[in-house]
Structure 1
Amino acid sequence: MDSLSKLNQVAHILRRRLANTDTAAKKPEGRSATQQAPAQDLKQVVGQKIKQLKSSGAQERQLHRATIAAILQHQFGDDSLTLDPDYQHLIDLVCEAIESDPELLAAVGSIVDEA
């Protein structure tokens, strides 16, 4: 499985879990979750973010969180979300859910390794 399909798989799982969560009840303005930018753009965005963090010596957990945050921000398309404490809490919840699922954790880990 190539990294692009892994990114799409993780993004799909995240969208599905977010759709089932009451935390995501408040829909942000801007691009909706169903309107997606090209997958190659997502790969570039995530790859750049991971490379920046790796060069600064970030730990694996920080890289995983940054990957999830970049995927969510790319899917929702609203830069102002990064400053919202509720959005940060949502990222924490998604990270916890992924960390509790070995298959998802391995998928995110492979995305980080390939960047």
Structure 2
Amino acid sequence: MKKLAIASAAALLATSLPAQAGPHGHGRYYGPPVEHHHHHLHRAAPLAWLLGGIALGSALVAIMPPRPVVAAPAVVVAPPPPLPPRTAWFCQSYQAYYPNVPYCPEGWQPVTVY
């Protein structure tokens, strides 16, 4: 299928090129300009090149494989680790915590705070 598309595009491009024959049909004409000779092919040459380029570009796009679709990786957010328990020191006689009370006569009681 690819070879057929390339061959048809090349044939279309080759037939769109202007002819290189002289006024008598063989070779280029290197003599003085002849008044009755009209150069219609030169006016049509840009159009032929444009159409040939469009045909060739279309054929090349048609035979190209599609681009792969790459999906973005999923974003996974892990929950933060739990905070370790902390220990606060409580004084029963003053009903307060250290460092608000610098001294406790009966001793400090450890209290776990989350």
TM bucket by the smaller chain? under 0.3
Q: TM-score, normalised by structure 1?
A: 0.26
Q: TM-score, normalised by structure 2?
A: 0.26
The structure with the largest alpha-carbon Rg is 2
Query: More helix per residue: 1 or 2?
Result: 1
